[in-house]
Structures are given as C-alpha cells and as structure tokens.
Amino acid sequence: MSDFKSGFRPALRPVLGAKRAIASTAIKLSPLPEGAIIHVLAAPDATDLEARLRHLAKGDIRAVSPGQWFIVGEQPLPHADVKALLTALEPQATGVDQSQGRVRIRIEGKMAERVLAKGTAVDLSLVAFPVGHSVATLIGHIAAHLTRLDGRVFEVIVLRGFAESLWDDLARMSLEFQ
C-alpha cells in the first residue's frame, strides 16, 4: 500500500442551487437550504424514543415510518454534533447522516394541495393530513417524504439524485396556477 494522499477535495454544490423560486399568488415552489437530515432508526424494544428525540435533536422531527424519523435542520451539523447525538441515542436507536444524500423542497400557497394531488394519492385535506403530519409516498414515479408544515405549506424530502427531476415535475404541475 502507498501512503499517497490525493489533493483532490470534492466540492459539494447544492443540487437545486441554480433554481429560482417559482412564485405566483396561488403557489410558490422553493429550494430549501441543504442543511441537516439525520435518519434515526429505533431498536425493536425502544420505548418513548420520539419524546427523547425531541429533547436531544437540534432540529425538527419528521416521522418516516414506525420506529423511524428524520431530524431536519436548516444548518449543517458539525460531525462532532452528529456523533454526540447518535451516541446519546444508543442503545435505543441508531442513525445515519443523510444531509448530503437528500434535498428539501418547499411548496406553499392556496393551490399547494392541488399541485401535490396531481402527483400523489395521499389525501392532503387538512382533516386527513394535519399540520405536522408526514408520509413516505410517491410523487409521480419518485419516492419522497412529504410533511405539512403549516396550513398551506409542505416540505418534500427527496433523494439527491432525484431532486432536479422532482423539481421539474412540480414546476410543470404548478403551471396552471402561475
């Protein structure tokens, strides 16, 4: 083996960095900062983990499925903070930093539900999908995680490799409301 060390350092560029918000009086589509996304997975015997997460996490909690959550933050978390969080969760849970692997998109406005309904079978009415509710779903053919942040505000989390395609799909689905 060689002790050769490359001087190459990859430069991370935001996937949607060149995309400008699409806005009208009825709909607004915005790329969100590529901050922090930590995927937390509970051990089978874990109890009251969500309450513990809310206490420990530096960010918002999004339910993914039973025993799984995303911790989402606007700012990147230093490696030491991620490591400290994951250590504090052991042995009840483990986690994976998905910050470089997922992208967040915000869609809001009085027609946000109608735009999203073009791509997903989820009942997005406020009664069936209240503020704070999250679901893993498909939007078109793309797997996504959808959260209602406010009455007319949604966050979509998508794998990095599909972010630009999903953005383009959402922009097309929004055209009639622009």
Q: What angle do CA 72, 73, 77 make, to 5 degrees?
A: 110
Query: Which pLDDT score is estimated for 57?
Result: 85
Q: Nearest-CA neighbor of 147 among 162, 158, 135, 163? A: 135
Query: Which pLDDT score is estimated for 123?
Result: 97
pLDDT tens digits, 71-93? 999 998 888 999 999 999 999 99
Q: Where are the domains of the chain?
A: 25-177
User: Which CATH number does 25-177 carry?
Assistant: 3.30.1360.120
Helix, strand or coil, per DSSP, at residue 153: strand
Q: Nearest-CA neighbor of 32 among 151, 145, 176? A: 145
Q: Nearest-CA neighbor of 72 among 29, 113, 105? A: 105
pTM of structure: 0.89
Helix, strand or coil, per DSSP, at residue 118: coil
pLDDT tens digits, 111-165? 999 999 999 999 999 999 999 999 999 999 999 999 999 999 999 999 999 999 9
Give me the long-range contacts of 78-85 (CB less than 8 A, separation at least 24): 82/36, 82/38, 85/38, 85/56, 85/57, 85/58
117: its two tokens: 């309904």
